[in-house]
């Protein structure tokens, strides 16, 4: 077969419609959006239209959408500013968060002496809400909770409405790294009551190098990057107009076609899990990733019953066969420490077996999945 791409949690193929918008913007709307002449005004109009569009899908105000270079910058902007500007003294997160959150929190602990607490996971890897509520009790310091809606490695999906209720009842701010969620799941920022979100366009068939932060009105945050007054003063620097309008198109396509694509991809995932269980005895699934309800429909994290020697060659073998998947998040490839998410939830014996993340999109087919399953089966039997 041709090459098979099953690493959509790392990044996605850009939609053809998005490519057309990107090209048109680069060709026709090249004015600096801060310029007052017609070229600049045209570019500014496109940016503000995109801001309004994205805000509409989140039930947010356009002024609450701040364009960034991606999810990592948005996470850093929110967490660092919350400590610096809002007097947050305690951050509560989990050890299964993305490193964009974990490493930022560790740095803030070193710089500002804040207290960092970690919610214990349930056996399936989902942060435990009772423990979260317990951690929010007590010392009276201003607290911020940072929990991702969809885990990027094992797919676990938390009940964000319940987490938001717990935070509200305990006067804590709530931030969510929603990078694996925006474009795949509906969001209503007013209903949920989340204070801050981070998103990245390349996770839902948009361009790389652009994302956004949702920052609730009158939050009190100040900029981290100084210079001009772009992005409501939160982020100085000339906006990447073509990327922003490309992200707008990706958001529109994602949500206008959400039900159809979700049903199709969910069918792929269910089929993949069934075929793995049928053809590879002893296969297991990490976290909630095989679940229809407790996990996102876009990925599955598979633990295979292969020996240590085979495990060392598995990803290389799949690559030779034209199959792209991941041992963990792409942001940590090359790390000798392995997946921090799996390290947090699996036993030493379970960690000895190779785990792979397969993540799907509407561009994948059942025929591709058959090829992958048969390749894994043949490798295990060889």
- Residues that are catalytic: 331
CA distance 132 to 118: 8
CA distance 193 to 181: 16
Phi and psi torsions of 317, nearest 5°: -60, -45
Q: Is 370 helix (H, G, I), strand (E, B) or coil?
A: helix
- The owner of tokens 């990245």 is 200
CA distance 97 to 213: 17
* Closest C-alpha to 84, from 68, 102, 104, 69: 104
- CB 118, CB 146: distance < 8 Å: no
Burial class of residue 246, CB neighbours in 10 A (0-12, 13-18, 19+): buried
Is the Cα torsion angle 105, 107, 113, 117 positive or negative in sign? positive
- CB 211, CB 205: distance < 8 Å: no
Exposure string over 280-297, b if 16+ CB within 10 A, otherwise e: beebbbbbbbbbeebbbb
Q: Residues with Cβ < 8 Å from 163, sequence gap 6 or more?
A: 129, 132, 145, 147, 174
């Amino acid at each position: 077969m041709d090459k098979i791409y099953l690493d959509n949690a790392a990044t996605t193929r850009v939609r053809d419609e998005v490519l057309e918008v990107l090209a048109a913007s680069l060709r026709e709307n090249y004015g600096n959006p801060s310029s007052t002449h017609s070229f600049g005004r045209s570019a500014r109009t496109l940016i503000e239209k995109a801001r309004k569009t994205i805000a509409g899908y989140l039930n947010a105000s356009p002024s609450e959408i701040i364009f960034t270079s991606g999810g990592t910058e948005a996470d850093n902007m929110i967490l660092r500013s919350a400590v610096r500007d809002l007097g947050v003294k305690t951050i509560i997160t989990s050890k299964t968060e993305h490193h964009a959150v974990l490493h930022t929190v560790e740095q803030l602990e070193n710089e500002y002496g804040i207290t960092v607490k970690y919610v214990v996971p349930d056996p399936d890897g989902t942060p435990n809400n009772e423990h979260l509520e317990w951690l929010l009790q007590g010392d009276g310091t201003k607290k911020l909770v940072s929990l991702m809606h969809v885990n990027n490695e094992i797919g676990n999906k938390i009940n964000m409405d319940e987490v938001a209720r717990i935070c509200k009842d305990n006067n804590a701010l709530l931030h969510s790294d929603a990078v694996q969620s925006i474009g795949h799941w509906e969001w209503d920022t007013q209903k949920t009551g989340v204070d801050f979100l981070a998103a990245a366009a390349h996770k839902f068939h948009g361009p790389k190098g652009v994302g956004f932060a949702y920052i609730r009105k009158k939050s009190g945050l100040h900029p981290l990057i100084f210079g001009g007054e772009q992005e409501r003063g939160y982020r100085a620097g000339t906006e990447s107009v073509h990327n922003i309008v490309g992200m707008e198109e990706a958001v529109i396509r994602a949500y206008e076609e959400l039900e159809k694509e979700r049903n199709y991809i969910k069918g792929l995932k269910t089929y993949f899990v069934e075929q793995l269980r049928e053809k590879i005895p002893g296969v297991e699934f990490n976290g909630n990733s095989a679940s229809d309800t407790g996990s996102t429909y876009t990925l599955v994290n598979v633990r295979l019953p292969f020996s240590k020697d085979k495990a060392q060659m598995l990803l290389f073998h799949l690559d030779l066969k034209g199959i792209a998947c991941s041992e963990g998040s792409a942001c940590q490839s090359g790390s000798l420490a392995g997946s921090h998410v799996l390290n947090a939830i699996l036993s030493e014996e379970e960690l000895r077996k190779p785990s792979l993340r397969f993540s799907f999109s509407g561009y994948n087919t059942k025929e591709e999945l058959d090829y992958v399953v048969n390749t894994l089966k043949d490798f295990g039997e060889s």
